[in-house]
């Protein structure tokens, strides 16, 4: 994969594992909103549950990702979920009865890690990687650094960011609001849990995955329509990605 401003960890390849011709039907008509609005989500059926990762079920998340995402994540991708309380809090599995049918895995970026990423990005040729230097200033520096949005915590340091590494649901279950509930759980946890202290969630989405882009829009995410992230994926054609992001506010809780 290309160099990037993030620390060298596995990346979400599709973020939402739908086909490019299928739009997820997790929300009802009219539920799309801005990044600051609280969205209404269809209730889960009684036999669908959202569960925390454990030693006995985390391998099921690996199975889901292996089935739906054309990338192989190393063992430490899953092992770190149970070793890091913040990763555990931002990871959830969805079950239909006792069958795991989906999951979300996020990474919390500390201010120090994020700043190191910005400094690394400034040393790269942004024209080659991002298709234009404007993306560095507008996205990496303004949108993701909390500039002009009250993005600092009480001691003045920038708040952390949540990177959505994987979000996947088996196709027969995508009409049950499972993807929306997984994402909503993460946003709600981030808004309510003071130890997370994040002000923004974001992900990369394949440029041709119209279903994924529409799904994120319906969840209140904004799609960066500036220069695309060039050559982000190795195994897909085209190889480019777009950034989607949403502010984390009290309305997410």
Count of C-beta atoms within a 10 Å radius of residue 248: 24
* Residue 245 β-bridge partners: 202, 222
User: Could you tell me where the DSSP H helices lie in the chain?
Assistant: 58-68, 75-83, 85-89, 111-122, 126-130, 134-135, 178-192, 210-218
Position 27 scores a pLDDT of 29
- Report the sign of the C-alpha dihedral through residues 149, 249, 135, 23, in that order: negative
Position 3 scores a pLDDT of 38
Return averaged pLDDT per consecutive 10 residues of the chain, 253 residues in all.
36 40 30 41 93 98 93 92 95 98 93 63 44 41 44 62 95 96 96 91 92 95 85 88 89 68
pTM (predicted TM-score): 0.74
Position 18 scores a pLDDT of 33
Position 225 scores a pLDDT of 81
Position 111 scores a pLDDT of 65
**Domains and their CATH numbers in the chain:** 48-252 (3.40.630.30)
Position 41 scores a pLDDT of 76
Position 165 scores a pLDDT of 95
Tokens 């919390």 label which residue?
Answer: 108
Position 122 scores a pLDDT of 54
């Amino acid at each position: 994969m290309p160099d990037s401003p993030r620390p060298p960890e596995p990346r979400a390849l599709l973020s939402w594992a739908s086909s490019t011709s299928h739009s997820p039907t997790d929300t009802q008509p009219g539920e799309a909103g801005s990044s600051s609005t609280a969205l209404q989500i269809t209730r889960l059926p009684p036999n669908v549950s959202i569960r925390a990762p454990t030693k006995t079920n985390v391998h099921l998340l690996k199975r889901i990702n292996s089935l739906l995402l054309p990338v192989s994540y190393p063992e430490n991708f899953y092992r770190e979920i149970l070793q890091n309380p913040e990763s555990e809090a931002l990871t959830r599995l969805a079950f239909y009865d006792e069958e795991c049918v989906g999951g979300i895995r996020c990474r919390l970026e500390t201010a120090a890690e994020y700043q190191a990423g910005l400094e690394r990005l400034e040393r790269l040729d942004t024209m080659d990687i991002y298709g234009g230097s404007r993306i560095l200033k507008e996205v990496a520096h303004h949108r993701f650094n909390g500039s002009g949005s009250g993005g600092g915590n009480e001691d003045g340091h920038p708040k952390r960011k949540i990177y959505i590494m994987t979000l996947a649901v088996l196709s027969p279950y995508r009409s049950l609001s499972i993807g929306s509930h997984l994402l909503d759980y993460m946003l709600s946890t981030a808004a309510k849990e003071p130890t997370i202290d994040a002000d923004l969630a974001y992900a990369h989405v394949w440029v041709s995955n119209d279903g994924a882009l529409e799904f994120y829009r319906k969840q209140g995410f904004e799609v960066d329509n500036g220069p695309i992230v060039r050559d982000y994926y190795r195994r897909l054609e085209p190889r480019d990605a777009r950034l989607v992001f949403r502010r984390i506010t009290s309305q997410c809780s």
